A and B are shown apart, each in its own frame.
Chain A
């Protein structure tokens, strides 16, 4: 029971990372694919939207990792061995993404046309975009690998059964799916945080990304059924199916709202959609942490540890949630039009 609660907490943190951190990766994706006459304005809008919040959003990932190794140490150890290579690549992506984002912000503007980024800034921008595309794919691949069943753990020894679990078709498809979801989240948020023609740009991008989400899920269904029957059955079970159904309904609603130029509704629906998707996956995956050998119960840390983590959560959240609320109210609240011209003038 304690272990299930701890796993639930980790799932909530993962959802928060998906909904918030995922959009930051998506922002980088649209930076990489910024096109057309408003290319620089698009990039500015993205940087402006991410700047104050991306570091706070990133901490959700650290929180997931800490919960995992604190509450389920053997699972963390097994993942560290089985996913050694993809995790290193994820780290490479995370490091380059974060570093390039701030490096670009503090690189000089172009000398001849001061309103444009200089050469150095453009290079870091390219790194930022590329890393933002690659990292969510890799993270999705790792998530797929956990479910795909190729990681075997017996008596503390980790072995990989057959092909590298993160390179199987289902894992690759999960990677593509994660990328599409990130891009969709970001485009929908950005359509809310911009106006006029820029809003049109992001609305159109959101429609493309939404189509990609649908296409990727269509691709994943047969793969799930063939490669991860346990997950397939879990997803269709009475526990997970209602959550997923709600997610699908929210997805349709968000698509419709975008189409009808109602970005606020689209944003709410998109958040619900992503939440339900990750929650549905987590519920279907339960009780497995790494299918089929590591479960929430076999991997659980001592009771005292679990209790500490669970009891410290309300206290921590009592500090955290009001602060987060303040952060998002100041920067994502109604008075967005207040451009901080000074910040730009000083660069």
Chain B
């Protein structure tokens, strides 16, 4: 079978897959894997660094375990096996007038992965994280067998599993609350802004009227243009003022067919891309668009991670608490711009204050920045400088994107890690967990 890697293809730790088709295979599979001591569930491998990589390099893949177990179309509640992709879920629920309450920037993730990383989306300021909408889940633990958890049933295990990086047991199925929609279209407003202060003002203004807000920032420009970008705000369109119809997305689709020996992401291609992107949005513009390009613009290019060549890439995603956000985000952007290492457009988003049930959930009230960097020693040096700034501001990094954070920074940013470690299934261990608990 083909070996697996994480999305950033760094660190280079090829994973041997063992496929789960049905829950009753787990116990024999774990026994069979006993020789490797530990393992980890692996969904679509869309986390960037090493949270999805088993310390033993032997993973249990869940994507073939993707059946819907129950649906209540009147209340918008669905329970499905953990390997169901968000893409499949969307196709199943949208025709019935429902939509996931929270979706991240790609639909190529599994429900299990969404829970394990407690993913967030452009509507964090309204709906919180994915975990806020999980009504219950089933775990398999090597020491206890099958366990049903919910906010009321084994709540300590439930909370540790939301954002628990897949370490509290194999997540077998998940029940979530959906949100009602009347159209599969999004009404989007795009506004170009020239400074970082404008971003914060736009974000504050639109977050009261729009469910979805996000901004893309050009991280290559320095000096006066620092922090220029495009702000997007969106709402689900109202299907009642038109024929109630679910449309087909545009079928325009690209694919990166192979991994080039060297990264195609370089200073020339980036400057051109970022400048063109900025110039495209000269005037504020409101339009109705299909939900696919609004939520998942990068899903239109399959295997875009291959653009970074064999060395792979890392994403830096941090959150800065609200009271320091303006100053620290500016300082971080300056540091990145001066390093000339930044990549495609950076994503900037203001999180709300809705708490997640998850013990190790990443989001907090403040502003998050996410940006890709080609893997290399300069990138690592830059990350060390950024880490100090994030740390001093009381912020933290997102484990789902991480391949570098130090155990000191992790343990200070996520003090509940000791609780998770105490509840960890002894046969589950990732490279990430080994690294940050060392």
The answer to whether A and B interact is: no
Chain A residues in the interface with B (C-beta under 8 A) = none
